[in-house]
A and B are shown apart, each in its own frame.
Chain A
Amino acid sequence: MNSSDGQGRDRRYLLVFQQVTKMISLAHNPRQVMASIVENLPELLGIDACTIRLLDPDADQFVLGAAAGVSDTYLSRRDVDSAETMDMVSAGRPVAMENVATSPHDSFREAARREGIVSVLTLPISYQGRVTGIMRLLTRRRRVFAGDEIDFAHALAEQVGIAIANAAMFRQLEHQVNYLREVQTISKMVNSTLDLDAVLQTIVELLPRSLRAHGCTIRLLTPQSNKLVLAASFGLSREYLERGEVVDEENTIRALQGEPVAIADVASDERVLYHEHMGREGIKSLLAVPIKVNNEVIGIIRVLARERRLFSPAEISFAAAVAEVGGAAIKNAGTYRQITLLFNQIEEHEQFLGNILDCIRPQLLVIDNRGHVVMANKAFLEANGQREADVLGMAYNQLCRVEEGERGCPVAEVLATGEMAVVVQSQREEDGRHWYERSATPMLGADGEVEYVIEVIRDLTAQRRLEEEQAERSKLEGVIELAGTVAHEINSPLFAALGTAQLLESDLGDDEQVEDIRTIVRNLKAISELTAKMASMTGYRGKEYVGETRIVDLG
């Protein structure tokens, strides 16, 4: 190699370097940087293909970032290269292979043969002394990579590393700002409702959109059985969602332990069990984050992407932040749901109790210890012609009317003594006098003081009237019995007296005393008429006699 050749090559390197620098300075997105490199480098370096792979530190694998000049079949081979090559490049050293047919790694050798690849130069992409990826230059014709060519390509790879890192940093910052906004938006939305289903649905729809993923699931641990149950999903088929339990998947186990898990290539990752289902669903990458409330994991969110990708720390933090916001909202919504259920139960019980009280025939009042009505049943309201709204809060003494000379209302007595009190009151109403039994019972509080007084008012009018009727009937029966007795006891001697007088009357003939006997006979007959009336009595009517004395009117 002469010096003019060397100068020419140096100039060409410089030119390539300038072009690469220019190219990567225009791109702020690592993907753009990588795409730009792999598309332009073959022509600049006179090679056939170029690939860039980035290190997934979680899986300790190099994941495809960009490629040009090779088929998807070649790119999707299981191993990138032999373990020896990978170890060397991971240690930061370029590895040149003039003829891949000599590679000790069978599957790579076969993949390269099918693709027609003959020579490969593998370069570490480093940033701040750490290998962050690899760049491979591939030729279909046998090519010997000279030392300066390797050095140049190595320098170029380092430049690519810096560019990717810068772009990633730029992008990360940009994402962080965006994610902050997204977290705010999601936070606002999930906190705007206490409906648990709405909260969950908001998260599964917004989170994948923010992360440019296509699907999302939320699984929550049931409080009773601690079982992981699918609570919401978005963008996924029923078949995929019903693929089976995920609780034994390593990514789930780790997420439930509180650790986010990002898987760039689910197809080859052992932390995933359902490779086939994921393949059919088109899922390439996965991010699982725990949902925490007060450091306790209550479930997991999984974000699923249809393109193979590395989730950046910013994306993982963002998902974790959303999960945390979601956790609080889920907890609140769950608590709200429980409170609502409890409230409904209380309301049902109250309604049930109210119905019972309304079905009770006696009137019922509950009065607080300040003398205000806090409850009145239907019977009370109907009897007093009042509405519940008017009665509640009313002072009790406005409701308890006391006629002059009667004992006061029993509630005041209970409030004063703490003992049960019963009062019978009578009052004049449209249909006559009514009697009420008002019994008041104290309801004591925890401190032993009267908290409420329960007053039961029973209308005794019908009972009283019945008692009066019975008394009247007994009196009538007594009068009739007495009349019968009198009639019987009088009639026999009267019969003897009257008959004898009549015999005497006929025996006397025209004697002057016959008139006296006739007077006796007439009066005895008058008595017999009265006893006949008494004997036929079925009822009686009183009439005034002298002063306050009354006698039975025999008509």
Chain B
Amino acid sequence: MANILVLDDVLDATVLVGKILTKRGHTVHTFTEEEEALSFAAANTVDLAILDIKLKKMSGVEVLAELKKINAKMQAIMLTGYPTVETAREAINLGADEYCVKPIDRQELEDKVEKVLKSKAKKSQLTI
């Protein structure tokens, strides 16, 4: 099971993601403030970050860049209510594994998380 960080400016959205993924046996840490999420990531091991693109002070893409600086192996799924070509391209370039459009279906979220975590496991095996 994985340590998952969830960052969204809408509290209910973080709670929902937390509930869904906790049910799947993951350890989920939810945040609505960018600085808090970054501090957490710096102090703890995070396998996967689920980031909203539109945040309070920074953009999800900027937070992704900072998180990758902390832990380059950390995986990421970007969530956005308003997808644009620019943000999608930036996120992928920075190493995001998925780019999902809200409102994402529960099943779809679970599938994407599993898929991303599995790909990490594969990469780890290959590395070993």
Contact = CB atoms under 8 A, between A and B. Distances in A.
A524 interface: yes
A488 B9 CA distance: 12
B74 interface: no
B21 to A, nearest CB: 11
B103 A499 contact: yes
B16 A503 contact: yes
A334 to B, nearest CB: 85
Interface string A490-511: 1111111111101100000000
A487 B16 contact: no
Given A492-B8, A493-B12, A500-B12, A532 B101 contact: yes
Contacts of B79: 495
Given A488-B82, A531-B81, A495 B54 contact: no
A491 B20 contact: no
A535 interface: yes
B42 to A, nearest CB: 26
Q: Is the interface of A mostly helix, strand, loop or mixed?
A: helix
A498 B82 contact: no
B97 interface: no
B101 A496 contact: no
A503 B13 contact: no
B95 to A, nearest CB: 24
Report the contact-size class of chain A (Cβ under 8 Å from the partner).
Answer: 20 to 34
B106 interface: yes
B83 A535 contact: yes
Contacts of A487: 81-82
B16 A492 contact: no
B83 to A, nearest CB: 6
Given A492-B102, A493-B10, 17 more contacts: A484-B82, A485-B82, A488-B80, A490-B81, A491-B102, A491-B103, A492-B9, A495-B16, A495-B79, A495-B104, A496-B10, A498-B105, A499-B103, A502-B106, A503-B20, A503-B106, A532-B101
24 contacts: A487-B81, A488-B80, A489-B81, A490-B81, A491-B103, A492-B8, A492-B10, A494-B103, A495-B104, A496-B16, A497-B12, A498-B105, A499-B13, A499-B20, A499-B103, A499-B109, A500-B16, A500-B19, A502-B106, A503-B19, A531-B81, A535-B81, A535-B83, A535-B101
4 nearest A-B pairs in the assembled complex, by CB-CB distance: A491-B81, A496-B12, A495-B103, A488-B82
